[in-house]
Amino acid sequence: MDTREALLNTAEQAVRRWGYNGFSYGDLSTKVGIRKASIHYHFPKKEDLALALIVRYRKAVFIMLEAIATQHKPAGQQLTEFINIYRQALGGCDTLCLCVALSSGPDSLNKDILSEITKFQTEAKAWLTSVFELGRSDITITKVTDPEKDAAACLALMQGAQLVARAGGDIEEFETAVAGLISRIST
Amino acid sequence: MDTREALLNTAEQAVRRWGYNGFSYGDLSTKVGIRKASIHYHFPKKEDLALALIVRYRKAVFIMLEAIATQHKPAGQQLTEFINIYRQALGGCDTLCLCVALSSGPDSLNKDILSEITKFQTEAKAWLTSVFELGRSDITITKVTDPEKDAAACLALMQGAQLVARAGGDIEEFETAVAGLISRIST
DNA sequence: GTCTATAGATTGATAGAC
DNA sequence: GTCTATCAATCTATAGAC
């Protein structure tokens, strides 16, 4: 397997469980089966690894969102699939969206990583805004007045619902929190 | 001043900025003006400090919520004040609700701290449920169908809005995310 | 209650051989 | 690309004097 890829995969799981400070080159070393020092060949500094992580994550998510958008399904269905992404990202309530996991202590992160997080959120809101606009015209999402605000609220709701469910260790808390949004989707 | 109190105050600010792993006894030592080892007299282990922190925080918040509730204002006004608590907790976009700050990497926290976070969220949702119930009858909050779900969504929204605003470094992102909720409050 | 001194572990990172 | 060896820094925590 590609070592670099394996490092990224292992690191991503760790960050999404324990945050940026919750994994070390020592951990990666054990789990990937490579010496600690060798990791520095692929990622000279830990921040390089974190940056590669968030860039890869952002691109992967937006490939999914692009795929959803280009199928030209009803807006309600697109929103459902968006919620599914966040639901699945929760795993067994032990992983967060990478973006949420890194958002917690941004002061300790460098400028590049922070701007990647911002970029992720900006793109997500733009995508959601289109969905809510469509939902208003194709009438598959109810109570849409300001798509931009709906988009911002939706993204915040997903992130918060993940946090709450994760802390409580119960995915039902995620479901309860998003139930109101889901009820606005008309089939 | 009371040393213990000073330690808690300083630690709380640090945790809300950088998370649980984002502060050390060394930091506290410098900022409070006491030697590192002396902190162990007040809080033998770091987890003892964290536990004291979240307990104190939870109690303080619920004294505020109790105060709001007992004034028997319209539900819409009570909800406004709830939102204000989270808005103010954001500070200049560099502090989170202690609960949000600690929720990010719960696997690294012990059982007691986790259960305090859960308790905080349970109490917050109970308080909010009452407010939405009242809002449905006194008609100061619109579109209330299931107060319990509204409460869960509201709490998640607050936490997520803090995260997004914090990452973006712009309090306007908080405002945009909560605008929809605020618009449901009828004056 | 606070101090000095120190232990013991872990961390991110580097140099240089292969 | 991966290894061994090592470094300097930082961290939580403890022992014992005052």
Listed by range, residues with Cβ under 7 angstroms from strand C are A 23-27, 36-37, 40, 44-47; B 3, 34-38, 41-42
CA angle A141, B84, B171 (to 5 degrees): 70
Query: For testing the chain B interface, which of A90, A115, A159, A174 should be mutated: the one with the most B CBs within 10 Å?
Result: A159
Q: CA at A179, C1' at C13: how many angstroms apart?
A: 48
Q: CA at A112, C1' at C12: how many angstroms apart?
A: 19
What is the DSSP-derived secondary structure letter of residue A95? -
- B103: nearest CA in chain A? A167
Q: CA at B127, C1' at D1: how many angstroms apart?
A: 58
Largest CA distance in chain B: 57
* Min Cα separation B97/chain A (Å): 11
Token pair recorded at residue A6: 């394996």
Please tell me which residue lies nearest to nucleotide C14, judged from CA to C1'.
Answer: A37
User: What pLDDT does B46 receive?
Assistant: 97
Question: What are the domain boundaries of chain B?
Answer: 51-182
User: What pLDDT does A107 receive?
Assistant: 62
Taking an 8 Å cut-off on Cβ atoms, the answer to whether A179 and B152 are in contact is yes
CB atoms within 10 A of CB A102: 27
Q: Is B185 helix (H, G, I), strand (E, B) or coil?
A: strand
Token pair recorded at residue A29: 């070393």
pLDDT, tens digit (0-9, with 9 covering 90-100), for B51-73: 999 999 999 999 999 999 999 99
Q: What's the mean pLDDT when you consider all of chain B?
A: 96
User: What pLDDT does B104 receive?
Assistant: 72
Closest nucleotide over all strands to B39 (CA to C1'): C2
More confident position, B94 or B183: B183
Token pair recorded at residue B33: 């003006």
In whole angstroms, what is the distance from residue B122 CA to residue A134 CA? 36
Determine what percent of chain A is predicted with pLDDT higher than 70: 98
pLDDT, tens digit (0-9, with 9 covering 90-100), for B11-56: 999 999 999 999 999 999 999 999 999 999 999 999 999 999 999 9
From the list B107, B146, B159, the residue facing A160 with the nearest CB is B159
CB atoms within 10 A of CB B163: 32
pTM (whole model) above 0.95: yes
User: What pLDDT does B103 receive?
Assistant: 87
User: What pLDDT does B1 receive?
Assistant: 73
Q: Is B26 helix (H, G, I), strand (E, B) or coil?
A: helix
pLDDT, tens digit (0-9, with 9 covering 90-100), for A121-146: 999 999 999 999 999 999 999 999 99
Q: Using only C-alpha atoms, what is the Rg of chain A?
A: 18
B2: pLDDT strictly greater than 90 = yes
Establish how many alpha carbons lie within 13 A of residue A68's alpha carbon, considering only the half-sphere containing its beta carbon: 23
CB atoms within 10 A of CB A105: 24
Taking an 8 Å cut-off on Cβ atoms, the answer to whether A19 and B104 are in contact is yes
Nearest to B26 by CA among B50, B12, B9, B46: B46
User: What pLDDT does A103 receive?
Assistant: 87
User: What pLDDT does B16 receive?
Assistant: 95
User: What pLDDT does A40 receive?
Assistant: 98
Three state DSSP letters for A4-70 = HHHHHHHHHHHHHHHCHHHCCHHHHHHHHCCCHHHHHHHCCCHHHHHHHHHHHHHHHHHHHHHHHHH
Establish how many alpha carbons lie within 13 A of residue B142's alpha carbon, considering only the half-sphere containing its beta carbon: 9
Fold of domain A51-182: Tetracycline Repressor; domain 2 (1.10.357)
Determine what percent of chain B is predicted with pLDDT higher than 70: 98
B93: which chain A residues are within 8 Å (Cβ-Cβ)? none
The pLDDT confidence band at residue A51, using thresholds 50, 70 and 90, is: very high
Taking an 8 Å cut-off on Cβ atoms, the answer to whether B107 and A22 are in contact is yes
Q: What's the mean pLDDT when you consider all of chain A?
A: 96
Taking an 8 Å cut-off on Cβ atoms, the answer to whether B107 and A153 are in contact is no
Which of A36-45, B93-102, B171-180 is predicted with the least confidence, judged by mean pLDDT?
Answer: B93-102
